[in-house]
Amino acid sequence: MGPLNFNSHRSHSFPPLIYEDVEILILGSLPGKKSIELKEYYGHPRNRMWKILCAITNCDLPTDYASKKIFLQKNKIGLWDVASSAERKGSLDSNIKKETPNDVDNLLINYPSINVIGFNGKKSESMYKKFFKLNRSIKFSLTNSKTFYYFNAYSQSSPKLPVIFSVPSGNFGNLTAGIFSKFMGLPVEKFVASTNLNDTVPRYMQTGIYIIYLWKYRTFLRV
Protein backbone atom coordinates (compact mmCIF):
# COMPACT_ATOMS: atom_id res chain seq x y z
CA MET A 1 0.00 0.00 0.00
CA GLY A 2 1.44 3.36 -1.04
CA PRO A 3 1.57 6.49 1.12
CA LEU A 4 -1.65 8.42 1.61
CA ASN A 5 -1.81 11.75 -0.22
CA PHE A 6 -3.17 14.23 2.32
CA ASN A 7 -2.51 17.11 -0.08
CA SER A 8 -5.03 15.92 -2.66
CA HIS A 9 -8.10 18.17 -2.86
CA ARG A 10 -10.34 16.67 -5.53
CA SER A 11 -13.53 18.58 -6.29
CA HIS A 12 -16.49 17.40 -8.36
CA SER A 13 -18.94 19.25 -10.57
CA PHE A 14 -22.73 19.20 -10.43
CA PRO A 15 -25.08 17.48 -12.87
CA PRO A 16 -26.02 19.77 -15.77
CA LEU A 17 -28.76 22.27 -15.04
CA ILE A 18 -30.56 22.00 -18.34
CA TYR A 19 -34.02 21.97 -19.90
CA GLU A 20 -35.65 20.32 -22.89
CA ASP A 21 -35.64 23.32 -25.25
CA VAL A 22 -32.33 24.82 -24.09
CA GLU A 23 -30.54 26.92 -26.72
CA ILE A 24 -27.58 28.41 -24.83
CA LEU A 25 -25.13 26.38 -22.77
CA ILE A 26 -22.80 28.25 -20.40
CA LEU A 27 -19.78 26.22 -19.37
CA GLY A 28 -17.71 26.94 -16.29
CA SER A 29 -14.53 25.24 -15.17
CA LEU A 30 -15.46 23.71 -11.80
CA PRO A 31 -17.72 24.93 -8.95
CA GLY A 32 -16.01 26.94 -6.21
CA LYS A 33 -15.98 25.94 -2.57
CA LYS A 34 -19.00 28.08 -1.67
CA SER A 35 -21.03 26.75 -4.59
CA ILE A 36 -20.18 23.18 -3.59
CA GLU A 37 -21.17 23.95 0.00
CA LEU A 38 -24.53 25.38 -1.11
CA LYS A 39 -24.96 22.88 -3.97
CA GLU A 40 -25.77 25.78 -6.28
CA TYR A 41 -24.24 27.01 -9.52
CA TYR A 42 -22.51 30.38 -8.94
CA GLY A 43 -23.52 30.30 -5.29
CA HIS A 44 -20.98 32.72 -3.84
CA PRO A 45 -22.70 36.04 -2.99
CA ARG A 46 -19.89 37.97 -4.71
CA ASN A 47 -20.20 35.99 -7.94
CA ARG A 48 -21.48 38.28 -10.70
CA MET A 49 -22.80 35.63 -13.11
CA TRP A 50 -26.48 36.00 -12.21
CA LYS A 51 -26.28 39.80 -12.35
CA ILE A 52 -24.64 39.66 -15.76
CA LEU A 53 -27.25 37.24 -17.13
CA CYS A 54 -30.02 39.50 -15.86
CA ALA A 55 -28.33 42.54 -17.40
CA ILE A 56 -28.21 40.79 -20.78
CA THR A 57 -31.84 39.65 -20.60
CA ASN A 58 -33.06 42.90 -18.98
CA CYS A 59 -34.81 41.18 -16.09
CA ASP A 60 -34.91 41.53 -12.31
CA LEU A 61 -32.35 39.58 -10.29
CA PRO A 62 -33.83 36.33 -8.88
CA THR A 63 -33.72 36.23 -5.09
CA ASP A 64 -33.36 32.47 -4.51
CA TYR A 65 -32.04 29.41 -6.32
CA ALA A 66 -35.50 28.15 -7.29
CA SER A 67 -36.20 31.49 -8.99
CA LYS A 68 -32.83 31.34 -10.73
CA LYS A 69 -33.75 27.95 -12.20
CA ILE A 70 -37.05 29.38 -13.49
CA PHE A 71 -35.12 32.29 -15.00
CA LEU A 72 -32.79 29.88 -16.82
CA GLN A 73 -35.67 27.81 -18.17
CA LYS A 74 -37.55 30.91 -19.34
CA ASN A 75 -34.48 32.17 -21.21
CA LYS A 76 -33.51 28.72 -22.55
CA ILE A 77 -30.12 28.76 -20.80
CA GLY A 78 -28.33 25.70 -19.43
CA LEU A 79 -25.39 25.49 -17.03
CA TRP A 80 -22.63 22.92 -16.67
CA ASP A 81 -18.87 22.69 -16.16
CA VAL A 82 -16.17 21.37 -18.46
CA ALA A 83 -14.48 19.44 -15.66
CA SER A 84 -16.25 16.54 -14.01
CA SER A 85 -13.61 16.54 -11.28
CA ALA A 86 -10.17 17.94 -10.62
CA GLU A 87 -7.59 18.49 -7.93
CA ARG A 88 -7.77 22.02 -6.56
CA LYS A 89 -6.90 23.85 -3.38
CA GLY A 90 -9.39 26.64 -2.73
CA SER A 91 -11.54 28.03 -5.54
CA LEU A 92 -9.06 29.58 -7.97
CA ASP A 93 -9.11 28.34 -11.56
CA SER A 94 -5.34 28.62 -11.63
CA ASN A 95 -5.16 25.85 -9.01
CA ILE A 96 -7.08 23.31 -11.12
CA LYS A 97 -4.95 20.26 -11.94
CA LYS A 98 -5.44 16.73 -13.24
CA GLU A 99 -8.96 17.48 -14.45
CA THR A 100 -11.33 14.86 -15.86
CA PRO A 101 -13.86 16.23 -18.39
CA ASN A 102 -17.62 15.90 -18.38
CA ASP A 103 -19.16 14.26 -21.44
CA VAL A 104 -20.12 17.51 -23.14
CA ASP A 105 -20.28 15.90 -26.57
CA ASN A 106 -22.95 13.48 -25.41
CA LEU A 107 -24.92 16.33 -23.86
CA LEU A 108 -24.94 18.14 -27.20
CA ILE A 109 -26.25 14.98 -28.88
CA ASN A 110 -29.06 14.67 -26.33
CA TYR A 111 -29.95 18.37 -26.58
CA PRO A 112 -29.69 19.24 -30.30
CA SER A 113 -31.47 22.56 -29.68
CA ILE A 114 -28.23 23.99 -28.22
CA ASN A 115 -26.81 26.39 -30.78
CA VAL A 116 -24.58 28.60 -28.62
CA ILE A 117 -21.90 27.68 -26.10
CA GLY A 118 -20.49 30.38 -23.85
CA PHE A 119 -17.56 30.13 -21.46
CA ASN A 120 -17.52 31.92 -18.12
CA GLY A 121 -13.74 32.42 -18.20
CA LYS A 122 -10.48 31.62 -19.89
CA LYS A 123 -9.97 28.42 -17.89
CA SER A 124 -13.23 26.81 -19.00
CA GLU A 125 -12.48 27.85 -22.57
CA SER A 126 -8.96 26.39 -22.54
CA MET A 127 -10.13 23.14 -20.94
CA TYR A 128 -12.86 22.76 -23.56
CA LYS A 129 -10.32 23.20 -26.34
CA LYS A 130 -8.08 20.66 -24.61
CA PHE A 131 -10.70 17.90 -24.50
CA PHE A 132 -13.17 18.69 -27.30
CA LYS A 133 -13.29 19.88 -30.89
CA LEU A 134 -15.24 23.00 -31.78
CA ASN A 135 -18.51 21.97 -33.42
CA ARG A 136 -19.05 23.96 -36.62
CA SER A 137 -22.83 23.86 -36.21
CA ILE A 138 -22.59 25.66 -32.85
CA LYS A 139 -21.64 29.28 -32.20
CA PHE A 140 -18.99 29.71 -29.53
CA SER A 141 -18.80 32.81 -27.38
CA LEU A 142 -15.09 32.93 -26.66
CA THR A 143 -13.74 34.79 -23.69
CA ASN A 144 -12.93 38.48 -23.67
CA SER A 145 -12.51 39.25 -20.00
CA LYS A 146 -12.99 43.00 -20.49
CA THR A 147 -16.61 42.50 -21.53
CA PHE A 148 -17.28 41.47 -17.93
CA TYR A 149 -16.66 45.00 -16.69
CA TYR A 150 -19.31 46.47 -18.98
CA PHE A 151 -21.99 44.01 -17.89
CA ASN A 152 -20.90 44.31 -14.27
CA ALA A 153 -21.21 48.11 -14.38
CA TYR A 154 -24.61 47.93 -16.04
CA SER A 155 -25.84 45.33 -13.52
CA GLN A 156 -25.22 47.86 -10.74
CA SER A 157 -27.04 50.75 -12.45
CA SER A 158 -30.61 51.76 -11.74
CA PRO A 159 -32.94 52.26 -13.50
CA LYS A 160 -32.03 49.94 -16.35
CA LEU A 161 -31.82 52.38 -19.25
CA PRO A 162 -29.56 52.59 -22.34
CA VAL A 163 -26.18 53.89 -21.21
CA ILE A 164 -23.25 55.88 -22.58
CA PHE A 165 -19.79 54.56 -21.72
CA SER A 166 -16.76 56.84 -21.67
CA VAL A 167 -13.81 54.53 -22.22
CA PRO A 168 -10.09 55.28 -21.68
CA SER A 169 -8.62 53.35 -24.59
CA GLY A 170 -5.16 53.66 -26.06
CA ASN A 171 -5.15 50.87 -28.66
CA PHE A 172 -8.95 50.52 -28.43
CA GLY A 173 -8.88 47.09 -26.79
CA ASN A 174 -11.19 48.32 -24.03
CA LEU A 175 -13.50 49.92 -26.58
CA THR A 176 -13.58 46.73 -28.67
CA ALA A 177 -14.73 44.78 -25.60
CA GLY A 178 -17.53 47.31 -25.19
CA ILE A 179 -18.63 46.81 -28.80
CA PHE A 180 -18.62 43.04 -28.21
CA SER A 181 -20.81 43.63 -25.16
CA LYS A 182 -23.27 45.63 -27.23
CA PHE A 183 -23.52 42.83 -29.81
CA MET A 184 -24.12 40.42 -26.91
CA GLY A 185 -27.20 42.42 -25.93
CA LEU A 186 -26.02 45.16 -23.56
CA PRO A 187 -28.23 48.25 -24.16
CA VAL A 188 -25.48 50.77 -24.97
CA GLU A 189 -26.54 54.01 -26.65
CA LYS A 190 -23.01 55.05 -27.63
CA PHE A 191 -19.34 55.03 -26.62
CA VAL A 192 -16.98 57.93 -26.01
CA ALA A 193 -13.34 56.92 -26.55
CA SER A 194 -10.69 58.89 -24.69
CA THR A 195 -6.97 58.65 -25.41
CA ASN A 196 -3.80 60.24 -24.04
CA LEU A 197 -0.21 59.85 -25.25
CA ASN A 198 -1.09 56.23 -26.01
CA ASP A 199 -2.84 57.34 -29.20
CA THR A 200 -1.98 54.49 -31.59
CA VAL A 201 -5.41 54.20 -33.19
CA PRO A 202 -6.21 57.93 -33.61
CA ARG A 203 -2.73 58.41 -35.14
CA TYR A 204 -3.38 55.51 -37.51
CA MET A 205 -6.73 57.02 -38.56
CA GLN A 206 -5.00 60.35 -39.28
CA THR A 207 -1.83 59.09 -41.00
CA GLY A 208 -2.55 55.54 -42.20
CA ILE A 209 0.53 54.33 -40.30
CA TYR A 210 0.10 51.82 -37.46
CA ILE A 211 3.02 51.86 -35.01
CA ILE A 212 3.70 48.88 -32.74
CA TYR A 213 6.15 49.04 -29.85
CA LEU A 214 8.23 45.86 -29.59
CA TRP A 215 9.03 45.56 -25.91
CA LYS A 216 11.57 42.78 -26.39
CA TYR A 217 13.68 44.89 -28.72
CA ARG A 218 12.81 48.32 -27.24
CA THR A 219 11.95 49.68 -30.65
CA PHE A 220 8.98 50.77 -32.77
CA LEU A 221 7.68 48.95 -35.85
CA ARG A 222 5.70 50.72 -38.56
CA VAL A 223 3.03 48.65 -40.30
- Residues carrying an active site annotation: 47
Tell me the residue type at 216.
K
**Sequence-ordered list of residues with C-beta below 8 angstroms from that of 125, at least 6 positions apart, any chain:** 119, 142, 143
In contact, 150 and 175? CB cutoff 8 Å: no
In contact, 180 and 144? CB cutoff 8 Å: yes
Distance from C-alpha of 30 to C-alpha of 43, rounded to nearest angstrom: 12
What burial letters (b/e) apply to 10-24, b meaning 16+ CB within 10 Å?
ebebbebbbbeebeb
Distance from C-alpha of 103 to C-alpha of 55, rounded to nearest angstrom: 30
